[in-house]
Amino acid sequence: MNGKSSVRYILALGCLFILTDTSQMMAANIRSFIEAVRRKAPVVYVGSVREVQLLTRTKFDIKARAVVSVSAVARGPRPKPSEATVEYSSYDDKTPMLAGGPQYQLQPGEKVVIFADSFRSTVPPGYLLQGKREELLQRVETLRDSLSKMSPDQLKLHEINEEDRQIQLALYEKLCTYLRTPYAIGYLVPRNRLTTRSTGRATLLGLTNRSS
């Protein structure tokens, strides 16, 4: 093999490695959005970002940590913690967004719904929704409605079965209940276990709302 052929071979091999790495990264990132990720999360909670901390910055990525005031727990151990932390990949004007994600730009005061391994977690693995309360409600309703319409083949694509679907639909109903009644705090319970006061407001099992 002469010099020119060697150079062309090395360049072609390098391009192949780059394309392979990119393809694998995209595949891994796509997996972050399937329903199985949310189904397997042992902790699901709603909260408000209280503080954002910069951990590390490189030319390609920013690692950040958000301190979240937990307002309600849809799935997870008791007692409910007052706060949680989540580490994530971010970006800004100096560090462009990575292709495929998931990356987030969280700000103090922003509302979040987090599917995670624990109340001290990194996403991914896991799933994070951010925005105003009304936006979160709309996005959770979209997840619920999309899941309810999935065919058997689509369930397989999302790596879940019919039992998983029913569990997740119940979870999304809990989240929707809270997001429609933001004054409530604590642990979310199924709708048929909710009690009401004379005001007609839904309350959480064993807890009162803020206006009490």
The identity of residue 6, as a single letter, is S
How many angstroms separate the CA atoms of 73 and 97, rounded? 31
- Confidence at residue 99, expressed as pLDDT on a 0 to 100 scale: 78
- pTM for the model stands at 0.74
Contact 39, 125 (CB under 8 A): no
Sign (positive or negative) of CA dihedral 140, 78, 192, 150: positive
- Collapsed DSSP state (helix, strand, coil) of residue 18: helix
Contact 83, 70 (CB under 8 A): yes
- Confidence at residue 23, expressed as pLDDT on a 0 to 100 scale: 37
Look at the block and give the residue holding tokens 């392979």: 20
Contact 70, 78 (CB under 8 A): no
- Confidence at residue 188, expressed as pLDDT on a 0 to 100 scale: 55
Low pLDDT (below 50) residues in the chain: 6-7, 9-28, 185, 190-212
How many angstroms separate the CA atoms of 177 and 25, rounded? 36
Domains and CATH numbers, the chain: 36-198 (2.40.50)
The DSSP call for residue 97 is P
- Confidence at residue 140, expressed as pLDDT on a 0 to 100 scale: 98
The DSSP call for residue 210 is T
Look at the block and give the residue holding tokens 């006061």: 197
Q: Centre a 10 Å sphere on the Cβ of residue 20 and count the other Cβ atoms it contains.
A: 10
